[in-house]
Amino acid sequence: MASGLESKYAIEVEGCICRYLAFEADGYTRVTYKEMLDHCNVTIRNGHPSLPANIVSEPNVTTLRCTEDVEDWNAVVAEALAQQASNRRNFQDFAKPKNEASP
């Protein structure tokens, strides 16, 4: 496979991931970065049937050119994880007998 083809494919996958990150930052659905990679690789391959079936691009999230989208997505994920931890603590307190609940 020519490196030019691999480069073009990698750019298309990166563009797909950047759009995905922007979408997820606006409405977080708990999709993981790995799931985004898989989805984008399949989408780009399906859109270009002449590409080899085994071509894959897996850019590291820290090397993407859309740094603002990455930062926004990371902030949304961190907020969601903090909220999940808070909800878990609140539920555990709620489930305790009244005399054991946190003040």
Number of domains present in the structure of the chain: 1
Place 102 in a pLDDT band, splitting at 50, 70 and 90: low
pLDDT, residue 3, reads 76
Q: Could you write out the three-class secondary structure of the chain? A: CCHHHHHHHHHHHHHHHHHHHHHHHHCCCCCCHHHHHHHHHHHHHHHCCCCCCCCCCCCCHHHCCCHHHHHHHHHHHHHHHHHHHHHHHHHHHHHCCHHHCCC
- pTM, 2 dp: 0.78
Parent domain of 16: 3-100
55-93 confidence digits (pLDDT tens): 999 999 999 999 999 999 999 999 998 988 887 887 777
Q: What's the whole-number mean pLDDT along residues 2-31?
A: 92
Q: How confident is the model at residue 91, as a pLDDT?
A: 78
